[in-house]
Structure 1
C-alpha cells in the first residue's frame, strides 16, 4: 500500500513538474525582489528603456533579448533557489559531467560571497 502511494505521488510529481516550475520560479523571484528594492528599481529602468515607457506595447523577441539585467536577475535567483524535480543528493566535492562543473551554486571557491544576492553576477 505504501509503495503504491509513493509511486502514485512520484508519477503525479513528474506530471505536475512543468505546471509548477514557472510558478515556483516566480515565487522565488518575487521573494528576492521584495528583499532587494534596488534591483526592482533597475528592472523598472530597464523595462522603461526597452518598452519606451509604453506599458501597452506588445513585447517582442527582440525586446526580450534587450532585457539583459532581467535575465541576470532570473539567473541569480535560480542560483540561490534552483527549481528541480528532485534533489535527492548533494555533492560535497566538485564533479565534472560533460565538461560542466556540478554543485557550484554556493561554493566559496567559485563565488566571492555565495550567500549574497548579486544581480550583476551574470
Structure 2
C-alpha cells in the first residue's frame, strides 16, 4: 500500500480527512446520534440499541473517542460515554468554515 503523503497537505486538510474517515462508517454515525440524543452519559449496553456485536461496538467507540468526539470513564467493566461538547463544537466550526468558503462557480 502506498503512502498518503499527508505532509504535503495543510493541517486543516489532514484534520478534515481524518474526521471524514472516522465518520465514514454508518455504525459510528448511529452511535453518535444515539449518544447525542441522551440527557446523560450512556452506560447501558449499546449492543441492544445499535444491533452490532460488543467487540464491533467497542472498536467504533475507540475510533470516535480517538477523534475526541466522545469522553468516557471506566466504571468496573463498563464504560460510560458522552459527547465531548467542546470538540463537537470545534468540529462544527471546522465543517462550517470548509463549506462556507466554497464558491459556486459552475452552472
TM-score, normalised with respect to structure 2: 0.26
Which one has a larger percent strand, Structure 1 or Structure 2? 2
TM-score, normalised with respect to structure 1: 0.24
Specify the structure having the higher radius of gyration (Cα): 1
